[in-house]
Amino acid sequence: GTGYENQRIGNVAGARETVEQADWRDDTDDDELEDQELEVHYMYMAQLQEVSPDAADSGPIFDDEPVQKVSNNDHYNVFAMESVHPEEEIDQNDDDNDLAKERELLASLIEKLKCEINVSKNHNKFLETSNKVLVEKLKSEIEDFKNKNKSLESSNHFFNETNNRLSETNNLLYTDYKKSEAELARRNSKEYAS
- In the chain (194 residues long), the average pLDDT of successive 10-residue segments reads 54 53 53 72 72 53 54 52 53 82 94 96 96 97 96 96 96 95 89 71
Residue 187 shares a structural domain with residue 94: yes
The predicted pLDDT at position 87 comes to 55
Final residue of a structural domain among 45, 66, 84? 84
Final residue of a structural domain among 38, 62, 84? 84
Residue 66 shares a structural domain with residue 90: no
Whats the size of the chain, residue-wise?
A: 194
Determine contact, residues 48/86, Cβ cutoff 8 Å: no
The predicted pLDDT at position 1 comes to 55
Residue 110 shares a structural domain with residue 76: no
Decide: pTM greater than 0.85: no
Residue 111 shares a structural domain with residue 169: yes
